Structure 1
Amino acid sequence: MLTARLRVLAAPGFVLALVLGLVGALAAPASAGTTAFWGYWQADGSKWAFAQTGPASTHPKDGAVEGWRFARSSGESGTPPRGAADFGEICGSTPKQAGAKRVAVVIDYGESADAPAGATPPAAKTSCASVPKNATGSDVLTKVARPQADKSGLICAIDAFGTCAAAAPSSSPSTTAAPAGKKSAGSTAVSVIIGALLVLAAGGSMMAVRRRARL
Structure 2
Amino acid sequence: MAPLTCALLTQGAGTAQAAGYRYWSFWELDGQKWAYATQGPATLRPQDGSTQGFRFSVSEDSADAATPRNTEPFAKVCDGTPERDGRKRIALVIDFGTAADAPGGEKPPAGRTACASVAEDASAADALAAVAPPLRYDSGALLCAIEGYPRQGCGEQVATADRSADADAGAGAAEDSAGTADADAPAQGPSLGLWAGAGAVLVLGGAAVWQARRRRG
Shorter chain as normaliser: what TM range? 0.5 to 0.7
Distance in 2, matches of 1:78 and 1:34, equals 10
SS in 1 for 2:89: strand
Distance in 1, Cα, partners of 2:124 & 2:102? 24
**TM-score, reference length from structure 2:** 0.59
Task: Output the CA distance in 2 between the equivalents of 1:90 and 1:30.
Answer: 41
Residue 164 of structure 1, CA deviation = 3.5
CA distance in 2, matches of 1:163, 1:94: 31
Number of residue-to-residue matches in the alignment: 139
Superposition deviation, residue 51 in structure 1: 0.9
Q: Secondary structure at the match of 1:67?
A: strand
**Matched residue, 2:127:** 140
Is residue 157 of structure 1 aligned with residue 151 of structure 2?
no
Alpha-carbon displacement from aligned partner over 1:40-96 (angstroms, at most 9, x marks no partner) = 111112211111111111101100101010012265152111011410110122111
- Please name the residue that 1:131 is paired with: 118
Please state if 1:94 is matched with 2:77: no
CA–CA distance in 2 between the matches of 1:114 and 1:163? 14
Aligned residues of 1:71 and 1:110 also touching (Cα < 8 A)? yes
The verdict on how the C-alpha distance between 1:30 and 1:73 changes in structure 2, with shifts beyond 3 A counting, is closer
Write the distance in 1 (CA, Å) between the matches of 2:36 and 2:152: 22
- The one-letter code of the counterpart of 2:58 is R
Residue segments in structure 1 that go unaligned for 5+ positions in a row? 1-28, 167-175, 177-215
- Using the size of structure 1 for normalisation, the TM-score is 0.60
Gaps in structure 2 of 5+ consecutive residues: 1-14, 155-161, 163-217
Find the aligned partners of 2:56 and 2:129 in 1 and give their Cα distance: 17
Distance 2:94 2:102 in 1: 14
Comparing 74-83 with 116-125, greater Cα deviation is found at: 74-83
> Displacement, 1:132?
0.4
Stretches of 4+ aligned residues off by more than 3 angstroms: 163-166
Query: Helix, strand or coil: the match of 1:72?
Result: strand
How many angstroms apart in 1 are the aligned matches of 2:151 and 2:43? Answer: 22
Q: Does 1:37 align with 2:44?
A: no
SS in structure 2 of the partner of residue 88 of structure 1: helix
Is residue 75 of structure 2 the alignment partner of residue 70 of structure 1?
no
Q: Distance in 2 between matches of 1:141 and 1:126?
A: 11
* Percent pairwise identity: 41
Q: Give yes or no for the alignment of 1:116 onto 2:107.
A: no
> 2:24 & 2:151 partners in 1: Cα distance?
9
Q: Distance in 2 between matches of 1:51 and 1:154?
A: 16
One-letter code aligned to 1:108: D
SS at match of 1:113: helix
C-alpha deviations, 1:12-36, integer Å up to 9, x for none? xxxxxxxxxxxxxxxxx98141122
Partner deviation per Cα, 1:112-133 (whole Å, 9 max, x = no partner): 0100111100000100000000
Deviation of 1:160 after TM superposition, in Å, equals 1.3
1:151 partner amino acid:
S
